[in-house]
Copies of this chain bind each other. A is one copy, B any other.
Amino acid sequence: MAERIRLGMIGGGKGAFIGAVHRIASRMDGHFDLVAGALSSTPEKARESGEWLGLAPDRSYSDFREMAIREKRLKDGIDAVAIVTPNHMHYPVAREFLKRGIHVICDKPLTSALPDARRLAKLAHESDALFVLTHNYTGYPMVRQARGMIAGGEIGTIRVVQVEYPQDWLTEAVETSGDNKQSEWRTDPARSGAGGSTGDIGTHAFNLAGFVTGLELESLSADLQRFVEGRRVDDNAHVMLRYKGGARGMLWCSQVAPGNENALRLRVYGDRGGLEWAQEDPNYLWFTPFGEPRRLLTRAGAGARDVSARVSRTPGGHPEGYLEGFANIYAEAAQAIRAKMAGQPVPADVVYPTVDDGVAGVAFVDACVRSSARNAAWIRLA
């Protein structure tokens, strides 16, 4: 195993959810060492979090720009940075690192607003550094399996896509309770973007459907709701999808559906078969060749494809989960970064969500919001 990649982190101080996830993901396969961070913009909190994580005091910053400048100069400065701030900071932070040639691993959605997303994509394309977007659900082995099967023609020409992502944690107005930071920034348009559930989880659903099917969205019609009084962004969304080439779909995302924790689920039907996958039971994939009994494929079990096996760590029956899926994005990033560092091309089988996927995601949210504002008028994408 090669030497570890030196990783920095922006955001993700004590108590943050997604920062901790990124750290575990970066660590799981031994590819990265977290050596620097601007874990908070509040100096005191940054310092505390840095200590808690065992960062050297001089590698713990409160200003991400300062960190970018200084780390660039260090002989053993960071090779890559993970950005796990609220959405509105993704762009300004990424910019500082990209322009200094430091690889970026950035949480989704790409940005809080579409113009920022486009600017960021331009920057990323011009930079020599890599940009990896953690649409982590694409890291699940059975998602890779489904994608491989579809590419291999196993369900024929796709007709129908059903994707949904219901949760229930915003059923009540927790953002005004004063003790739920997550809900505060995620329902604040200034930090999260104009989309609420659409931006937070709808983008995941949209991305997953595209990743697995390879289809490109042509237009959508969206009906967004704010069910909780006083909420400033959508907490439920119904979207009809028209893909290029004739496939049709529906997307539902919700944060007010009691009984749903994190129930992302994708179903794809073609003229020769169907596939069904659910994030909460990620080691399974239902596959029906039309006219035959349903089959329950398992991760690393009978019928596993190479694209799935290469992101599996254990045999079938040993469930892998959310963190392993997330770690797969980091493992892909590691392979890509190491190739870059060695001056070699990124291997062809390395797959991760890109800045362009990120632009598509933000464009999706933007289109949902605009469509809904016009009584669910059809909005063309790209």
Contacts and interface: CB of A to CB of B under 8 A. Distances in A.
Given A296-B296, A320-B323, A168 B302 contact: no
Given A27-B30, A293-B298, 6 more contacts: A1-B53, A262-B316, A280-B283, A283-B321, A294-B296, A318-B322
Interface in A248-262: 248-250, 252, 254, 256-262
Interface string A313-351: 111111111111000000000000000000000000000
B262 A288 contact: no
Contacts of A287: 259, 293
25 contacts: A24-B29, A27-B30, A28-B28, A159-B227, A160-B236, A168-B288, A171-B290, A221-B223, A221-B376, A225-B248, A227-B271, A256-B269, A258-B273, A258-B291, A259-B273, A280-B283, A281-B281, A283-B321, A287-B293, A291-B302, A292-B302, A293-B302, A296-B296, A318-B321, A319-B319
A54 to B, nearest CB: 5
Interface in A266-315: 267, 269-274, 276, 279-283, 286-298, 301-303, 313-315
A53 B1 CA distance: 5
A139 to B, nearest CB: 13
Interface of A: 1-3, 17, 20-21, 23-24, 27-30, 52-54, 155, 159-160, 162, 164, 167-168, 171-172, 221, 223, 225, 227, 236, 238, 240, 242, 248-250, 252, 254, 256-263, 267, 269-274, 276, 279-283, 286-298, 301-303, 313-324, 375-376, 378
A378 B242 CA distance: 17
Contacts of A28: 24, 27-28, 323
A29 B172 CA distance: 33
A261 B314 CA distance: 12
Contacts of A258: 155, 269-270, 272-274, 288-291
A272 B256 CA distance: 10
Given A27-B30, A28-B24, A28-B27, A301 B290 contact: no
A263 to B, nearest CB: 7
Instruction: Report the copy number of this chain in the oligomer.
Output: 4
Contacts of A164: 162
Given A262-B317, A317-B261, A319-B321, A238 B236 contact: no
Given A168-B290, A320-B322, A160 B259 contact: no
Of the candidates A17, A54, A171, A294, the one having the most CB atoms from chain B within 10 angstroms of its own CB is A294
Contacts of A242: 223
Contacts of A271: 171-172, 227, 256
Contacts of A376: 221, 240, 376, 378
B298 A295 contact: no
Given A261-B298, A317-B167, A160 B256 contact: yes
Contacts of A221: 221, 223, 240, 376
A314 B321 CA distance: 11
Given A221-B223, A256-B159, A315 B261 contact: yes
Contacts of A240: 221, 223, 238, 240, 376
B320 A259 contact: no
